[in-house]
Amino acid sequence: MPRHASIMTAAALVLGMAPGALAAADARAEIQINLCAPPEAIVRALDLRPAEALESWYFESPGLVHHGRGHVFRLRTGTGAPELTLKVADQDCARIKPELLPRGAGKCEYDIHGVQPKGAVSLSRTLAPDEARALIDGRRGLADALGPAQIRYLEATGGWPLGPNLQRLGPVAIRAYRAPGQKFVVEAWTLPGGQRFTEISEKASLAAAPARQAELEAMLDRAGVTRCADQSSQAGKKLEAMLSGS
């Protein structure tokens, strides 16, 4: 079976739908490919240009309590207003109750790491600069900063109330790069301990994602950019590294 066909079959299994129904549903996906080369070498090989510089803070308890429930909390600052996001992994986008995902408050799309597409919900709210600073400085707790839609989704997915000993982790420096005429973005992450993670990503319809993923992989191979053997989500590894202080 061709690789793109196996991705579509896997997507159908996730949704509980026939493969042909996926295109009709016009579900959205984000292709994410982990890169294992120095960011500087990737920038040269792909002829990238700096796009934006961001800073992210995360909130987690020892033992990855929240990540274990599928929840990631992120405060991102940089371009535009600060944004507090709740991301919930392993969600069935086709079966989410509309009241849990109000229009304009969030989205559900499929993350593609390797072959298996996995639904993920993102719910974000904009914070005022002083609200974000209070959250970063520890003068305001995460529970007080979350919005009603985020809390409702946490309640529905077993994440409320928040776990004990919640720690503020960061800052994570993120440098985004783009190539002229291309839709993909390359993000280079540097954790407080110096660990670096790099990813190339691009949004597409779920139906178009397999072919586009194959094109991106071929482009990387031609440019001599090494793809990581581990193509799973790196969110847990990043949080674990920051919790350990390593």
* pLDDT score, position 14: 40
Q: Mean pLDDT, to the nearest integer, of 155-167?
A: 94
Q: Which amino acid is at 42?
A: I
pTM, entire model:
0.88
Q: Residue 246 — very low, low, confident or very high, per pLDDT cuts 50/70/90?
A: low
Distance between CA atoms of residues 84 and 59, nearest Å = 11
3-state helix/strand/coil string of 49-82 = EEEEEEEEEEEECCCCHHHHCCEEEEEEECCCCC
The whole-chain average pLDDT of the chain stands at 90
Helix%, strand%, coil% for the chain, nearest 5: 35, 35, 35
Distance between CA atoms of residues 148 and 211, nearest Å = 38
Token match 């586009």: residue?
212
Which SS3 state, helix, strand or coil, does residue 176 take? strand
Q: Mean pLDDT, to the nearest integer, of 146-156?
A: 97
With a cut of 60, say whether residue 13 has pLDDT above it.
no
Percent of the chain at pLDDT > 70 equals 89
| CA-to-CA separations, 76 to 23, 54, 146, in angstroms, rounded | 32, 7, 14
* pLDDT score, position 68: 95
Q: Residue 8 — very low, low, confident or very high, per pLDDT cuts 50/70/90?
A: very low
With a cut of 50, say whether residue 17 has pLDDT above it.
no
Q: Which amino acid is at 49?
A: R
Q: Which residues of 122-134 are buried (b: 16+ CB within 10 A; e: fewer)?
A: bbbbebeeebbeb
Q: Residue 3 — very low, low, confident or very high, per pLDDT cuts 50/70/90?
A: low
Dig out the tokens for 211 from the structure: 């072919």
* pLDDT score, position 46: 98
* pLDDT score, position 199: 98
* pLDDT score, position 242: 98
With a cut of 80, say whether residue 195 has pLDDT above it.
yes
Domains defined along the chain, listed by start:
3-244 (2.40.320.10)
Q: Which amino acid is at 41?
A: A
